[in-house]
């Protein structure tokens, strides 16, 4: 477990450190990182005739917040599923902290420190918030038969799990909801619970699947703060997101997928003006919500085109 570093200085240092790492980095797909926590090679996943994922090489820098973006159907979720052992890749290798992870089942992947969030399923919605949290740790405890025979050790571990769950619920301001059914939470509170539950395994790499989806604006800042907090506590974050405002706000680096492959990487401030990225989004359905400045630019382009057309007409 990492030392919990809090306070403004630590926060600035982590962000500054991430900024320094990416400052002059090349924007090529698969660009090497100085200290990668995750290294992926030749991961392929096919569904019948469709190649959903075909990632040649990609690295995720330790201690950074990296966004994984791309148009609908680009393969982002499938890629997450391969890396976290929820689905089996047809081929490929990947290492986490230098250790090979392909073929490792999901619960072991989580136990080794690489965890992904999930949207609440129907079954989990019927459990209380605290039960959801305790389930997040289920694979930590002694699954081993002999350990279960030592009641003292077992009870101690149960108590530790509850204590950690309570601490996290307090941190995520969900403690008052501990006895409520998870299904009764608002969209934003569910996202907080998904994140809090993932932290039960004390991960080093947290993979978030659309952390902002369905979140009402009142909770947006709180959620963004919690994601940044993960980096401040020394964790690495990799997240899939369509909300470009969020991507710009919190990520240190962006990896772009289209049609199963990584097509570009770059800083959040300029990635959307990369030709390869524009082509990928225009070639697909542009599903990423536009920011105000993008809308403004689009409006100006349309007006300029209209003016040019009118001028052309009048010159005839
Ligand atoms: N279980 C499956 N069986 C068949 N095809 C699948 C399966 N899962 C994903 N696909 C296909 O693989 C491709 C990649 O899908 P994926 O959900 O990974 O994309 P994505 O980038 O996460 O999209 P979105 O942003 O819309 O969630 C899509 O064409 C999808 O239809």
Q: What is the DSSP string of 146-186?
A: HHHT-HHHHHHHHHHHHHHHHHHHHHTT-GGGTTSBGGGS-
Judge whether 50 lies within some domain.
Answer: yes
Question: What value does the mean pLDDT take over residues 94-117?
Answer: 92
What's the predicted TM-score (pTM) here?
Answer: 0.82
Judge whether 44 lies within some domain.
Answer: yes
Judge whether 256 lies within some domain.
Answer: yes
Ligand 1 atom, smallest distance to 78 CA: 18
Q: 228 is in which domain, residue-wise? A: 8-113+202-285
The C-alpha atoms of residue 29 and residue 312 are separated, in whole angstroms, by: 42
**Lookup result for tokens 């007006």:** 303
- Please work out whether the CB of residue 47 comes within 6 Å of at least one atom of ligand 1: yes
Judge whether 245 lies within some domain.
Answer: yes
- Please work out whether the CB of residue 69 comes within 6 Å of at least one atom of ligand 1: no
Judge whether 75 lies within some domain.
Answer: yes
Judge whether 131 lies within some domain.
Answer: no
pLDDT in tens, 146-179: 555 566 666 777 888 899 999 999 999 999 999 9
For the chain, the residue count is 316
Judge whether 70 lies within some domain.
Answer: yes
User: Cα dist. 35→2, 4, 120 in Å?
Assistant: 17, 21, 33
Q: Are strands 50-61 and 36-47 parallel, antiparallel or unpaired?
A: antiparallel
The C-alpha atoms of residue 3 and residue 148 are separated, in whole angstroms, by: 30
The C-alpha atoms of residue 115 and residue 109 are separated, in whole angstroms, by: 7
pLDDT category at 13 given cuts 50, 70, 90 is confident
Q: Could you give the number of structural domains in the chain?
A: 1
Q: Report ipTM (2 d.p.).
A: 0.97
- Please work out whether the CB of residue 86 comes within 6 Å of at least one atom of ligand 1: no
Say which CATH number the domain at 259 has: 3.40.50.300
The alpha carbon of 187 is separated from its chain's Cα centroid by a whole number of angstroms, namely 17
Judge whether 238 lies within some domain.
Answer: yes
């Amino acid at each position: 477990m990492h030392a919990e570093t809090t306070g403004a200085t630590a926060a600035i240092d982590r962000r500054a450190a991430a900024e320094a790492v990416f400052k002059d980095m090349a924007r090529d797909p698969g660009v090497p990182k100085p200290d990668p926590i995750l290294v992926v090679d030749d991961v392929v996943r096919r569904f019948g005739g469709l190649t959903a994922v075909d990632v040649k090489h990609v690295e995720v820098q330790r201690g950074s917040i990296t966004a994984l973006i791309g148009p609908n159907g680009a393969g982002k979720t499938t890629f997450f599923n391969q890396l976290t052992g929820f689905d089996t890749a047809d081929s490929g290798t990947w290492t986490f902290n230098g250790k090979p992870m392909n073929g490792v089942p999901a619960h072991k992947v989580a136990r080794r420190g690489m965890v992904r969030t999930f949207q609440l399923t129907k079954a989990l919605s019927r459990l209380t918030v605290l039960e959801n949290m305790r389930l997040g740790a289920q694979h930590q405890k002694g699954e081993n038969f002999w350990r279960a025979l030592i009641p003292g050790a077992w009870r101690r571990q149960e108590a530790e799990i509850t204590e950690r769950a309570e601490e996290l619920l307090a941190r995520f301001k969900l403690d008052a909801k501990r006895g409520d059914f998870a299904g009764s939470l608002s969209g934003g509170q569910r996202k907080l619970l998904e994140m809090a539950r993932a932290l039960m395994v004390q991960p080093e790499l947290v993979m978030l699947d659309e952390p902002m989806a369905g979140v009402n604006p009142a909770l947006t800042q709180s959620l963004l703060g919690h994601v940044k907090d993960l980096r401040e506590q020394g964790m690495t974050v990799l997240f899939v997101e369509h909300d470009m405002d969020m991507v710009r706000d919190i990520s240190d680096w962006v990896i772009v997928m289209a049609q199963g492959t990584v097509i570009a990487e770059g800083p959040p401030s300029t990635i959307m003006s990369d030709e390869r990225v524009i082509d990928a989004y225009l070639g697909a359905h542009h599903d990423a919500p536009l920011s105000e400045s993008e809308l403004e630019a689009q409006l100006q382009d349309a007006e300029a085109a209209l003016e040019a057309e009118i001028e052309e007409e009048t010159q005839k």
